[in-house]
Structure formats: C-alpha cells, structure tokens
Amino acid sequence: MRLKKIQRMWEDLKATPHPHLYDDLEFEFRLALLDYYITWIVEEFIEREGSLQPEMLVLLRECELALAPQLKKLHGGASRYFEQSLGLSREVLRQVNFARRRHREV
C-alpha cells in the first residue's frame, strides 16, 4: 500500500503554515471546518494503517467536493496549503478505492 506516500504528504502539509484570511471571516470559517474534518480523517486513516469506516469516506469525499471550488478564491500561501490538503484528500480516497478493488478481485 502507498501509506508511506500519504504519510509523507501529511508531514508536508503539517509543515506548511496554516493561512489566515482575516478579511473574510465567514469564508475562513468554512475553510477551517473543512480543514478540521480533513485533518481528523487523514490522521484516522494513518492510525488505522490505511482503512476508514464508510461514514468517514463519505465525509472526506464531501470535504473534497466542497474544498475544490473554494481554491479559486485563494492566493499565495493560503492557496498552497489548501491545494496540498485537497491533494492529500484525493490520495486517501484513491488508496481506499484501490484497496477495495483489490479486495474484490481476491
């Protein structure tokens, strides 16, 4: 499994400064909430060595879908942080889908 890739991506994201968008608190709140859920789910995925409960997969997918259009409103460091977060979310979802397909073939 490519858990090491996800762990590396996770460490890179944690090393990236979290952006603050003081000019739009409502927008910042939405991003902070998405970030909270993504962080929680990725940590759970790593702790469980590459598995997640179905409810968490649905939540991660919803976060990914909600975050993607928000990136157009971001610039600079804020954009970089959330692009990394989105990439990490997508990689976790790919890993879970790959593991499911492989399990069905066995």
User: pLDDT in tens for each of the 106 residues of the chain?
Assistant: 578 999 999 999 999 888 877 678 888 889 989 999 999 999 999 999 888 999 999 999 999 999 999 888 887 777 889 999 999 999 999 998 876 666 666 5
Phi-psi map region of 83: left, alpha, beta (phi>0 left; psi -120 to 50 alpha): alpha
Give pLDDT, residue 22: 65
Model-level pTM?
0.84
Judge whether 91 and 9 are in contact, CB under 8 Å: yes
